[in-house]
Amino acid sequence: MAKSPEVKLAVFGRAGVGKSALVVRFLTRRFIWEYDPTLESTYRHQANIDDEVVAMEILDTAGQEDIQQKESHMRWGDGFVIVYDITDRGSFEEVAPLRSLLEEVKRPKNVPLVLVGNKSDLDHARQVGTEEGERLAAEMACAFYECSACANEGGTVAEAFHELCREVRRR
Ligand code: GDP
Ligand code: MG
């Protein structure tokens, strides 16, 4: 099987949206309820995507970084997951500013990106409609997934990361 260069992925979004839970779910197929919210970690992972072994490095940001730290994470990454929490409208409102900063930092190329609305298991507490997520993703010209790090029906979490890898490698 062909081997390709390592893909650097960074996960952004307000603290508490479930970035760490999503990354851990993707890497271990398990859900960890409590994860140190101030922790920033990088992980190495290999996945078989479309019959190719793709090596990736994943940066799970804390979501409390100042602008300089955000910019430096953005310069580091090749592709980005922006996460919001469907039960937290404020986290959804932070998506567009993050995208703008990305576009500024990575100019002039358009940036490989996926938008993830997490915590879809908490539908009773939903504050952001699925259509709103879809609309925002269409504006940002990126793929959109609603998912749940704890339920992960249909393996949507892995699908989001795999699609991002594909997007990076298409550029
Ligand atoms: P981060 O700050 O973005 O890394 O968020 P964490 O991964 O630390 O998650 C914040 C909180 O949300 C924790 O209490 C998690 O257990 C919870 N959480 C994360 N993902 C989900 C999910 O999909 N569903 C539910 N119900 N809770 C989640
Ligand atoms: Mg975290």
pLDDT tens for each residue of 116-137: 999 999 999 999 999 999 999 9
pLDDT over 80 (residue 23): yes
Say if the ipTM goes beyond 0.90: yes
99 ligand 1 Cβ < 6 A: no
- Which residue has the least CA distance to atom 16 on ligand 1? 33
Locate the ligand 1 atom nearest the alpha carbon of residue 35 and give its number.
8
Which pLDDT does position 1 carry in this prediction?
55
Rounded Cα distance, 117 and 120, in Å: 7
Q: Is 165 exposed, middle or buried (0-12, 13-18, 19+ CB in 10 A)?
A: buried
Average pLDDT, the chain: 92
Q: Which two tokens mark 1?
A: 């099987």
Tell me what the mean pLDDT of segment 77-95 comes to: 98
Rounded Cα distance, 116 and 137, in Å: 9
Locate the ligand 1 atom nearest the alpha carbon of residue 36 and give its number.
8
40 ligand 1 Cβ < 6 A: no
35 ligand 1 Cβ < 6 A: yes
pLDDT over 90 (residue 16): yes
Residues with CB under 5 Å of ion ligand 2 are 19-20
Bridge partners for 44 per DSSP: 57
User: What pTM, to 2 d.p., does this model score?
Assistant: 0.95
pLDDT tens for 24-70 read 999 987 777 677 777 888 999 999 999 999 999 999 999 889 999 99
Cα 36 to ligand 2 centroid, rounded to whole Å: 6
